[in-house]
């Protein structure tokens, strides 16, 4: 389905962007991991967001999401895995589905965690970031899943359901991936499993992996005062653009990015 604006990330920045796209009368789809996996969900008390004193993270996120929903923003739960720009449209893949929009707001927060030894080397040869996309290639074979959020268990269940013998590593720290031409084994925190594929299910994807060619500085997305990046029709907001890593800054940048993206989409028509 086609939208004016697609927002990646359902935290304060993404929800603010979505609300402000709707305020400009444009359609918007928010793609995000489950709300309970947002980092702010862990906060018992957010005390520095103006007008919402002593609110818990879950209450604040729920209120923000309801506001964006009431304004007409649409939502899907999932991880954006790839994006490409063709013929004045962005195409974003989420699991096995593809969505397109005239403009995109990247509001994916901070991508934590470094790549493991062997991860880049074996990408596409036994390293995958999406069980539902690539699982059938490894049907009835031994696989590993590195899960960093509760929703990763569902992807592991999907793999078990198609006959894979799944070794699940829950939030592993030190891992290495080895093999010759293909993955043959993974070792995490001292435990080795012989597998044909490892599914690495991090909640966030580094901005430069999602958007090849995106300008970053110290891993943060470079933006101008309109929150525009160096790529056409791509705007960014919130923690992914740098500090202070705080709710109010994310909401403010989301507002600007949403308005800029809506204006960009309108100009394309
Ligand atoms: C424990 C804790 C306490 C905090 N307390 C405070 C506080 O008191 N006051 C304050 O101002 N700030 C606080 N913060 C910081 C605050 O949570 C962040 O600054 C704020 O959430 C940033 O908003 P954001 O929308 O930019 O990013 P996030 O809230 O991180 O939202 C990004 C969302 O995008 C999702 N995502 C990432 N990549 C993808 C992808 N490829 N596809 C789909 N979804 C994706 C992520 O899973 C996440 O849900 C706290 C943070 C933590 C962890």
The reply to whether ligand 1 has any atom less than 6 angstroms from the CB of 203 is yes
The domains spanning 2-112+205-268 and 127-201 adopt the same CATH topology: yes
The reply to whether ligand 1 has any atom less than 6 angstroms from the CB of 38 is yes
8, 9, 92: residue to mutate for ligand 1 pocket, most atoms within 8 A of CB: 9
**Three-class SS of residue 191?**
strand
- Residue 269, pLDDT > 80, answer no
Q: What is the CATH number of domain 2-112+205-268?
A: 3.50.50.60
The two structure tokens encoding residue 74: 């649409």
Task: Look at residue 95 in the predicted model and tell me its pLDDT.
Answer: 86
Residue pair 31/80 in contact by the 8 Å Cβ criterion: yes
What is the per-residue pLDDT across 62-80, written as a single tens digit (0 to 9) for each? 999 999 999 999 999 999 9
The reply to whether ligand 1 has any atom less than 6 angstroms from the CB of 39 is yes
pTM: 0.91
Question: Domain map of the chain by residue range?
Answer: 2-112+205-268, 127-201
Query: Which ranges of 74-178 does DSSP label H, i.e. alpha helix?
Result: 131-134, 152-161
Residue pair 122/195 in contact by the 8 Å Cβ criterion: no
User: Is the domain 127-201 a CATH 3.50.50.60 member?
Assistant: yes
Strands (E), the chain: 2-8, 28-32, 74-77, 80-86, 89-94, 97-106, 127-128, 142-147, 165-170, 175-179, 183-188, 191-194, 197-201, 216-217, 220-221, 234-236
What is the per-residue pLDDT across 102-146, written as a single tens digit (0 to 9) for each? 999 999 999 877 889 999 999 889 999 889 888 999 999 999 999
Average pLDDT across the chain, whole number: 95
- Specify the residue with its C-alpha closest to ligand 1, atom 20: 247
One DSSP character per residue, 68-79 reads HHHTT-EEEES-
- Specify the residue with its C-alpha closest to ligand 1, atom 13: 246
- For 157, residues 6+ apart whose C-beta sits below 8 A from its C-beta are none
- For 244, residues 6+ apart whose C-beta sits below 8 A from its C-beta are none
What is the per-residue pLDDT across 36-61, written as a single tens digit (0 to 9) for each? 989 999 899 998 999 999 899 999 99
């Amino acid at each position: 389905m086609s939208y004016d604006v697609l927002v990646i990330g359902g935290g304060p920045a993404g929800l603010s962007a979505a609300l402000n796209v709707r305020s400009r009368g444009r359609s918007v789809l928010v793609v995000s991991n489950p709300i309970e996996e947002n980092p702010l969900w862990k906060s018992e008390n957010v005390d520095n967001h103006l007008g919402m004193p002593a609110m818990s993270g879950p209450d604040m996120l729920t209120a923000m999401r309801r506001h964006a929903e009431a304004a007409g923003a649409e939502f899907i739960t999932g991880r954006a895995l790839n994006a490409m720009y063709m013929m004045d449209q962005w195409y974003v893949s989420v699991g096995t589905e593809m969505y397109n929009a005239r403009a995109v707001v990247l509001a994916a927060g901070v991508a934590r965690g470094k790549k493991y030894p062997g991860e880049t080397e074996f990408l596409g040869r036994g390293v995958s970031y999406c069980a539902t996309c690539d699982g059938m290639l490894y049907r009835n074979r031994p696989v590993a899943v590195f899960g960093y959020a509760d929703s990763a268990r569902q992807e592991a269940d999907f793999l078990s359901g198609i006959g894979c013998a799944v070794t699940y590593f829950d939030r592993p720290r030190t891992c290495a991936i080895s093999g010759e031409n293909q993955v043959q084994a993974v070792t995490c925190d001292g435990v080795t499993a012989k597998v044909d594929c490892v599914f690495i299910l991090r909640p966030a994807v580094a901005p430069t992996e999602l958007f090849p060619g995106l300008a970053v500085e110290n891993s943060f997305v470079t933006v101008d005062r309109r929150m525009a990046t160096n790529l056409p029709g791509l705007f960014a907001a919130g923690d992914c653009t740098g500090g202070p890593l705080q709710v109010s800054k994310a909401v403010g940048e989301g507002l600007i990015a949403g308005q800029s993206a809506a204006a960009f989409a309108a100009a394309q028509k």
